[in-house]
Amino acid sequence: MTTYSDYAYLIVGLPVLAFVLTIFLGWHLPKGGGFFTVLATFAGFIISAGIFTEIFPGEVLHQSMHWFATLNVGILIDPLALAMLLMVTFVCTLIHTYALGYMDGDPGMARYFAEAGLFTAAMLGLVFSDNILQLFIFWELVGLCSYLLIGFWYRKPSAASAAKKAFLTTRVGDVMFLAAIVILYNSMASLNLNLAPGEYLLQFPVIYKSLALIDPGQLTIIALLFLGGAVGKSGQFPLDVWLPDAMEGPTTVSAMIHAATMVTAGVYLVARMFPLFYAAPYGLLAVVYVGGFTAFYAATMGLTAFDIKRVLAFSTVSQLGYMMMAIGTGAVVGAFAVGVGMFHLIAHSFFKALLFLCAGSVIHGVGTNDMREMGGVGKYMKWTMLTMLAGGLALAGFPLTTGFFSKDEILVVAYEYGSISHQWLPYIFGIVAALMTAFYTFRMWFVAFDGEPRSDYHKHESPWVMLVPLMILAVFALAFGAFSQSGFYDAVGNNFEHYGVDFEELAVVGGHAVAHGEGHGGEAEHGGEEAVEEPFIIKILPIVVGVGGILLALLFYSRWKKLDVRKYVGERDPIRGLLLKRYYQHEILTAWFAETVVYGLSLISNMIDIKIVDGVLNKISEVTLAFAGNLRKVQTGIIENYITALVFGVVVLVILIKIGMEVGL
């Protein structure tokens, strides 16, 4: 009997096929052949759902075959991967459908759908890889597709430049990722493991199994390098510079990058490698601080941005920080943390895709990204306004929305983390960022949809092919959390049980002195709450900051405005300037480091090469060249001369050798 599991490879295979079909036939088809990509992605969703019914909850789907040398290719679908597969195929299907309307009329539509199909395929391939090298290969492919899509309007210099920036910045992370694989491979190879047939060194189950045997110091290096890769891809500080600029592509691309594909890959990597991070001393500590700080840092920049997509971009960076922070708390709460982080990832993908598509709808209608030129858009775009409200509420963490459930749990584990490890900073970052998130989200919503039109824009609602995906996403942004939370934590938090990962043993390796509460450390019940008693104020704090932020925005920016921003923050306020300049991060990283230091070094190398390396050579060969000058007169470019010379040379050689023989050398 054939089952869905037999066709797992089609999850990636079909979008690749769509890519090929679109690239060759798309030009001749209506809508650029975009329906290939839509259908392929949707088929991936069906297959993923089918596999879900077949293997869930007790089994893992693992297929593998030899590739070359000591490496393999394979498919591994466990609850962690399944969650991602379902999310990516679901959200991408909606985004692609929306793009049928959004991209209509663009002369590059076929190219768009080809690249979008490949992008989806790469992300899905990344998710279901059974080994870290294959994951890396798809990871790079994701990077390539994002490069192509961000630079989709390549005639625009800013788009081409943003694409390059995205690729190179994430490449810095990729270099670390590559280094991590190289070291991990060698650490594992030196263990001389007895691999069963079908087992290969870089497969995740084999990695999990051998963690306890690897030197902890080595593990820390590997974990930090993996984290470096994730920081680049998921736009964590300090490699977050590319993400806000990645807005140069079509809005649907932003939706894909920010919600379903690309940036979630970094978080997924950390989740996938959680046992390694857990076993590595300082591994999760680094994760929790990078994540916490990024959540806070990016939220501050969201406060002042004027570009509607840029506000959303900063919120993405910030929310990714939350996910990282959640997983980082695993040092205290165990593998349950993976469930918490991943749940926010899934929740975020719904409401962030929704928000971006709404923003796209607004931009599509209004014709500008600048919120200062909008105002009152809600009057003309009712559906867009309402669906965006749903997304905004979820992002702000308004009670009972999906975002509320997912973010609340992160703050719970962060609190628990703080009370056991006495590292309170991540929790504080989380709370403050939550307040700012609610504020800037509704600042955006009010400025765009409320008030009076501030410029003369087109006033029409988007077509249904764009609105229906928005409505579906809005339902998920509002209601998904309430129904799925505990089941999700169980499934994903227990993910590593399938491989027999012994977190207690790894805790010793990783030096986690803190005792785990009941149900933690891979045991995976609903961890967290039982271990640490939370005071009432802590329990309601997430609600207070979420609702409070929304109210503040209402007081400052809505039609019921009571306060004037200008009274508190002047035009020349230094902090506002700093935020608008994004902490001069671009200037430091791109302009100074890349363009001055690296390029300067290359110019110096070039000088050395010309003046010294070649210079010395030229000096040496001056004599020779003088000789060559004479030679040239003899040999005037007639081929026969040279052949004669060669034959002659060979004869001389033979004679010399003969003489040598006679002399008895």
Partner 1 sequence: MISNAISWMIAVPLIGAILVFMTRTRAQARMVALVASLVPLVLSLQMFMEFDKTSKMMQFVESYDWVPSIGVKYTLGVDGIGFPLVLLSTIVSVLVIIYSWGEDKRPNQFFGLLLLNEVGVLGVFTALDFFLFYIFWEIVLIPMFFLIGIWGGPRKDYAAIKFFIYTHVASLVMLLAIFALYFTYTMPDGSRTFDMLTLIQATSNTAIFPTSLLNIIFAGLLFGFLVKMPAVPFHTWLPDAHVEAPTAGSVVLAALLLKMGGYGLFRVILPILPSVDKVFVTVIAVIAVLSIVYGAFLALAQKDLKKLVAYSSVSHMGFVTLGSVAVLGAAAPFLSLQGAMFQQFSHGLITCVLFMSAGTIQHSVGTRIIADLGGLADRMPRFAFLMMAGFLASLGLPGMSGFVAEFMVLTGSYATMPTATMIVIFGGVAVTAGYHLWATQKVLFGPILKKYLNVHDAHSYELLSMSLIIILVLLFGLQPALITDIMGVAAEQLMEPVMTLAQMGVI
Q: Is 598 one of the binding residues for partner 1 (CB under 8 A)?
A: yes
The Cα–Cα gap between 345 and 84 comes to: 9
Quote the least distance from Cβ 641 to partner 1, whole Å: 10
Among 183, 465, 479, 514, contact with partner 1 (rule: CB under 8 A): 183
In Å, what is the CA distance from 54 to each residue of 5, 8, 30, 49, 267? 8, 12, 37, 9, 27
Binding residues among 85-124 for partner 1 as defined by CB under 8 A: none
In the bound state with partner 1, the residue whose beta carbon lies nearer, of 530 and 614, is 614
Question: Which amino acid, residue 217?
Answer: G
Q: Is 126 one of the binding residues for partner 1 (CB under 8 A)?
A: no
Q: Is 69 one of the binding residues for partner 1 (CB under 8 A)?
A: yes
Q: Is 25 one of the binding residues for partner 1 (CB under 8 A)?
A: no
The Cα–Cα gap between 435 and 346 comes to: 21
In the beta sheet, which residues pair with residue 68?
71
Among 58, 105, 107, 157, contact with partner 1 (rule: CB under 8 A): 157
Quote the least distance from Cβ 605 to partner 1, whole Å: 4
Q: Is 650 one of the binding residues for partner 1 (CB under 8 A)?
A: yes
Backbone dihedral angles phi then psi of residue 171, each to the nearest 5 degrees: -65, -35
Quote the least distance from Cβ 181 to partner 1, whole Å: 8
Interacting span for partner 1 (CB under 8 A) from 176-184, 235-243, 263-271, 563-571: 176-184
The Cα–Cα gap between 432 and 142 comes to: 33
Quote the least distance from Cβ 594 to partner 1, whole Å: 8
Residue 282 Ramachandran class (φ > 0 left, ψ -120 to 50 alpha, else beta): left
For 53, the token pair is 């019914």
The Cα–Cα gap between 92 and 94 comes to: 5
- Selection from 358, 363, 138, 119 nearest residue 253 by Cα: 119
Rounded to whole angstroms, the maximal C-alpha distance in the chain is 111
Interacting span for partner 1 (CB under 8 A) from 273-281, 386-394, 536-544, 632-640: 632-640
Among 508, 575, 617, 626, contact with partner 1 (rule: CB under 8 A): 617
Task: Answer whether 399's CB lies under 8 Å from 547's CB.
Answer: yes
Among 9, 56, 154, 282, contact with partner 1 (rule: CB under 8 A): 154
Among 3, 455, 486, 605, contact with partner 1 (rule: CB under 8 A): 605
Q: Is 172 one of the binding residues for partner 1 (CB under 8 A)?
A: yes
Quote the least distance from Cβ 628 to partner 1, whole Å: 5
Binding residues among 307-326 for partner 1 as defined by CB under 8 A: none
Q: Is 141 one of the binding residues for partner 1 (CB under 8 A)?
A: yes
Q: Is 178 one of the binding residues for partner 1 (CB under 8 A)?
A: yes
Among 40, 127, 133, 492, contact with partner 1 (rule: CB under 8 A): 133
The secondary element (H helix, E strand) that includes residue 176 is: helix 157-189
Angle in degrees, 0-180, between the axes of helices 216-233 and 283-302, rounded to the nearest 10? 20
In the bound state with partner 1, the residue whose beta carbon lies nearer, of 540 and 626, is 626
Question: Torsion over CA of 495, 477, 42 and 342, rounded to 10 degrees?
Answer: -20
List of residues 6+ apart from 323 with CB closer than 8 A? 234, 267, 291, 341, 342, 344, 345, 348, 410
What is the total count of residues that contact partner 1 (CB under 8 A)? 65
Among 1, 196, 537, 661, contact with partner 1 (rule: CB under 8 A): 661
Among 137, 386, 514, 543, contact with partner 1 (rule: CB under 8 A): 137
Pairing between β-strand 71-77 and β-strand 61-68 as defined by DSSP bridges: antiparallel
Chain centroid to CA 281: how far?
A: 25
- Selection from 332, 208, 218 nearest residue 274 by Cα: 208
In the bound state with partner 1, the residue whose beta carbon lies nearer, of 186 and 455, is 186
Question: Which amino acid, residue 210?
Answer: S
Interacting span for partner 1 (CB under 8 A) from 248-256, 395-403, 543-551, 639-647: 639-647
In the bound state with partner 1, the residue whose beta carbon lies nearer, of 153 and 583, is 153
Q: Is 151 one of the binding residues for partner 1 (CB under 8 A)?
A: yes
Task: Answer whether 333's CB lies under 8 Å from 527's CB.
Answer: yes
Q: Is 155 one of the binding residues for partner 1 (CB under 8 A)?
A: yes
List of residues 6+ apart from 463 with CB closer than 8 A? 101
Q: Is 17 one of the binding residues for partner 1 (CB under 8 A)?
A: no
Binding site for partner 1 (CB under 8 A): 66-70, 133, 136-138, 140-141, 144, 151, 154-157, 160-161, 163-164, 167-168, 171-172, 175, 178-179, 181-183, 185-186, 189-190, 594, 598-599, 601-603, 605-606, 609, 613-614, 617, 621, 624-625, 628, 632, 637, 639, 642-643, 646, 649-650, 654, 657-658, 660-661, 665
